[in-house]
Amino acid sequence: MAMRTATPWWLTWQHLLALLILFVAQRFLGHWSTLQLVATIASVAAIAATLGLRVVAVIRTATDRRAVERTLLLATIGSIAGIALWFLTTKTGAGIVGAGHLSAKGARRWDVSLTVLAAIVSLASIVPMVMIEATLGLARRDRFDLDVKGSDDAVEHRRVREVGLSGLTIALAGALLMVTCNVAGERNLRKDVSYFKTSSPGASTKNILKNTSEPIKVLLFFPEVNEVKDELEAYFEDLKDATHKVEIEAHDPIVAAGLATDYGVKEQGVVVLVRGDKHEKIPMDTDIERARRATKSTTKPSLRTFDGAVNAALMKLVRAKRVAYLTVGHGEINDPDSLDPRLREQLPDARANTLKDILRAQNYEIKNLGAMDGLADDVPEDATLVMVLGPRTALGDDELAALDRYVARGGSLLLALDPVSDATMGPLEGRLAVRFDHTPIADDKEFLPSGGPQVALTNQFSSHASITTLARAASNRGIPLVKAGTLEDAPYTGDGAEPKKTYVIRSMSTSFRDLNDNQKFDDGEKRDRYNIAAAIEGPKPAPVEGADPAEAKDGFRAMVFSDVDLFADRMGMQGRQILVYRETNGGPLPDDALRWLGGEENYAGDITSELDVAIRHSKKEDAWWFLLTIVGAP
């Protein structure tokens, strides 16, 4: 028999629809403020009307009919209580109860606790309400009947109560699952033992943040539930713990449409780093399989190279763009097309694409500097750094004189030479007190088997800020010297005090100058540790007459290398590894060298990458592996 209640069936569904509209208005209509306001007012009015009608129904009815209406009233009040608890998580609600000045950690606890509590209360109210309505049915319940107080139309309150309690049980079971999942998420212990893991914050990235005065805000625009977001949150939590200068916020760009618009975010899967009024975006794949895959994309990094992307973004935030001039017109590795084609065919193919990527990552603007660009007259005033990368033909006297004047007034110069060239240092030899010897070195004990003795290996690095990462890994990381020349002391011919000079890279003690270029150790040749790279700091230049002493520049900084291949793209089994690999023959050498030359040695350190890099064995190591295979395996 149908049960005739004092209120119609559609009153409950109107209430639930109003709750849904309120939820949509607050979660999805943030960027349409007028529509959001209208929807909110309409839904709140409908909820209030439902509450009022439920109260009237309880007052105007009796016996079992009143008990049923009282049960529906309690469920309605519970759903409204859930809304009230959710309101306290908003900025306005927290301010009303005095929770608006909590710390970041306290505010997160407040938000999580009340959100979970609001969900539990709402679930425990709405589920029983829906199940009671399903039990009461639709027949004879299409209008209000507040005047009937008799029991001639039976209402089985016991059945309604049992159904309501069943709904409450289901709701509480669901609430238990929600709480359990939340606790598991908060107390989650993550340990990725697979090779394909997300890169962790590198020393360079940590140093950048430690040396900045203003914290960085991290905005993660991802779906509410997303594995890539979880990986990135773990990365930034590690960075936060190490530096205490990171604030992390996660937003769904659909929900927080207004905030997403402010930062130009048009899709899900974007990390925004904010410092003051500046921000940088790092787009990511939202699919975990694609995000973990090695990629050569410079616009969308993978999780395995994410630290490099963060490092580059931070450099753009913490300081203004600088200018790096690369000389051209002499067959440099950054300008190989300037060589005669017949001569170029006789020389190894060397490029500087990776080095240019490193410069851009450190927020340098790259400009060419040749005779047509004014090198014969002078180095431009806006130059932060000048790089001469393996000229095959000699620079003109006027060009060398311009570089000498640039260094004398406190400039920064990276000079990488190569034995297979006609290049000389000219007046820079006396200015820097370093001479370049074109005789190539060889090492018949420690070398790459694929390249021969003139591709010697070395791990002899001094403790200097220009090679921080190499020095820390010296015991297990060597670099190849591809037909390298050598450096030696030269008389200082500059003005004032002699510059401070440190030889930062040397060859192994088994190496020798290959005087006859036959890759064999012959009589008259000497095994020794030969100088490969020098870091030179000059005295402060003489002050300009009438200038403010406080504005006086520091002394010059220069690095001289006898092997330009240290800055060339590394070749391997997978072809030229550039962009994603950010790897040169010198490994992390260019990163730290450029930071030191730019006066940013505080930012030096490794940039973590989880990409698979080929293992390079020396001839001695290969011999041991061969012996173990033949003797040890049987």
Please write the tens of the pLDDT for every residue from 163-204.
888 888 888 888 888 778 777 776 766 665 555 566 788 888
pTM of structure: 0.64
The C-alpha atoms of residue 347 and residue 328 are separated, in whole angstroms, by 17
Higher pLDDT, 577 or 634: 634
Amino acid at 211: N
Q: What is the DSSP letter of 492?
A: -
**pLDDT grade, residue 273 (50/70/90)?**
very high
Coil vs helix vs strand at 60: helix
Mean pLDDT of 514-541: 91
438 Cβ contact partners less than 8 Å away, ≥ 6 residues apart:
419, 421, 485
Has residue 544 got a pLDDT over 70?
Answer: no
Q: How far apart are CA 191 and CA 197, in angstroms?
A: 10
- Residues paired with residue 488 on neighbouring β-strands, in sequence order: 435
Name the band, by pLDDT with cuts 50, 70 and 90, for residue 611. Answer: low
DSSP string across 521-552: --TT--B---EEEEEEEPPPPPPPTT--GGGP
Higher pLDDT, 19 or 155: 19
- The pLDDT of residue 583 is 57
Taking 80 as the threshold, does the pLDDT of residue 104 lie above it? no
Largest CA distance in the chain: 123
Instruction: Note the pLDDT of residue 476.
Output: 62
Is the pLDDT confidence value at 326 over 90? yes
Per-residue confidence (pLDDT) for residue 257, from 0 to 100: 87
Identify whether the C-beta of residue 40 lies closer than 8 Å to the C-beta of residue 26. yes
B/e letters for 343-375, b = 16+ CB within 10 Å, e = fewer, are eeeeeeebbbebbbbbbbbbbbeeeebbbebeb
Q: Which pLDDT belongs to residue 577? A: 37
pLDDT band at 305 (very low <50, low <70, confident <90, very high): confident
DSSP run (H or E) holding 130: helix 104-136
Cα angle 443, 447, 449 (rounded to 5 degrees) comes to 130
Residue bearing tokens 């009237």? 56
pLDDT value at residue 95: 79
Q: Under a CB-based contact definition with an 8 Å cutoff, are residues 266 and 222 in contact?
A: no
Q: What is the C-alpha separation between 586 and 411, in angstroms, rounded?
A: 24
Predicted confidence (pLDDT) per residue in 12-47, tens digit: 888 899 989 988 888 777 677 788 888 889 999 999
Task: Give residue-wise pLDDT tens across range 72-94.
Answer: 889 899 889 988 888 888 777 77
pLDDT at 7: 81
63 vs 6: CA distance, rounded Å: 12
Average pLDDT for 214-219: 93
Predicted pLDDT at 152: 45
Pairwise CA distance, residues 432 & 534, whole Å = 10
Residue 573 binned pLDDT confidence (cut-offs 50, 70, 90): very low
The pLDDT of residue 597: 94
Q: What is the mean pLDDT of the chain?
A: 83
Q: Of 10, 40, 48, which Cα lies nearest the Cα of 24? A: 40
Q: Give the rounded distance of the alpha carbon of 597 from its chain centre.
A: 24
Q: How many residues does the chain have?
A: 634
pLDDT at 405 over 60: yes
d(CA 606, CA 470): 9
pLDDT at 585: 64
Domains of the chain: 9-186 (no CATH), 203-309 (3.40.30.10), 320-543+550-626 (3.40.50.880)
Least confident of 137-151, 156-170, 266-280, 336-350: 137-151
CA distance linking residue 431 with residue 556, whole number of Å: 10
Residue 582 gets the label, from left (phi > 0), alpha (psi -120 to 50) or beta, of left
- According to DSSP, the residues that pair with 414 across neighbouring strands are 387, 559
